[in-house]
Amino acid sequence: MSTAVLFPGQGSQTPEMRDTVAAVAPDLLEQVIAVVGSDPFTQVDDGTAFAQPAIFCASLAGWRSLDAGEREAASFFAGHSLGELGALVAAGCLSERDGLELVALRGRLMQEAGESAGAGGMVAVLGRDAAAQAPQLAADHGLAVANDNSPQQVVLSGAREALPDAVTAAEALGLRAMILPVTGAFHSPMMESAIPEFRAALERVEVSPGRGTVVSAVTAEPFDDVRRRLLEALTRPVRWREVMLALHGLGADRFLEVGPGRVLVGLAKRTVRDVELVSA
């Protein structure tokens, strides 16, 4: 079987993930505290500045915990939002230290962008044909599709004042919708203030060819330009449903989620058929 290793994004945190990192990757725990300036695991609910590096470390601890044969057998890699950095590190395209510094900076910049833009938010749209109806729903309310997660789950992003009307419209279409408890309109043009500093940081890191195939959540195709796609990911949607279909089309018939939670396995179950789904 051909295995695709999946790295989760924000919202996948679990209470025990710090203990996992301390047991499996104590060096990584020490590094992330130094890079962030405090222990992000104790502040994971205080915003992306802490949640993103914490989840990144927990995901890499999950990757490290696989036996050597499992790691060597991995043919494909993909990550949801911040998970792309974990996927690129696991594939050898980025060093672990560069990935850690980038994800800590990314989390801080996204939190600051949300706070400076103000009045941004996100709404989850759920139900049959949600992915088919979400683009028009977003256009009608001046929102952006932020996460196309599965045929039945899409997240819209934009001005908070537009969200209640979007919820009402979604419900009129027979969908369920809920405003999410986040501090910004992530993966939308409201994140543009994060671009200059993140671009400068990306230019300083070394990018290597790595091994296997890493699929970008921006293009739903294998990474062509790592720096460009990571930068675009700040303001463009996470095309996760298409990533799952692309991986399957490339030959992946086993999907292995590493890191905290089981969010990605659940999304894959709703998107691709006749595959093996595993959580490490």
Q: What is the pLDDT of residues 154-192, one digit of tens each?
A: 999 999 999 999 999 999 999 999 999 888 999 999 999
Q: What is the DSSP string of 98-149?
A: HHHHHHHHHHHHHHHHHHHH-SEEEEEEESTTHHHHHHHHHHHTT-EEEEEE
Report the predicted TM-score, pTM, of the whole model to 2 decimal places: 0.96
Residue 116 pLDDT: 84
Cα→Cα distances 32→48, 65, 269, Å: 14, 18, 32
Q: What is the pLDDT of residues 89-107, one digit of tens each?
A: 999 999 999 999 999 999 9
Q: Which two tokens mark 279?
A: 């959580």
**pLDDT band, very low/low/confident/very high, at 257 (cuts 50, 70, 90):** very high
Domain 3-116+189-279 grouped into CATH 3.40.366.10: yes
Question: What is the C-alpha to C-alpha distance for residues 110 and 193, in angstroms, rounded to an integer?
Answer: 9
* SS3 category, 162: helix
* SS3 category, 78: strand
Residue 1 pLDDT: 83
**pLDDT band, very low/low/confident/very high, at 267 (cuts 50, 70, 90):** very high
Give Cα 16 to chain centroid, integer Å. 20
Q: What is the pLDDT of residues 19-76, one digit of tens each?
A: 999 999 999 999 999 999 999 999 999 999 999 999 999 999 999 999 999 999 899 9
Residue ranges of domains in the chain: 3-116+189-279, 119-179
Question: What is the C-alpha to C-alpha distance for residues 213 and 4, in angstroms, rounded to an integer?
Answer: 9
Task: Domain 119-179: give its CATH architecture.
Answer: 2-Layer Sandwich (3.30)
Q: Does residue 118 register a pLDDT over 90?
A: no
Radius of gyration of the chain (CA): 18
Residues assigned a catalytic role: 81, 187
Sign of the torsion angle spanned by Cα atoms 201, 53, 43, 180: positive
Q: What is the pLDDT of residues 12-21, one digit of tens each?
A: 999 999 999 9
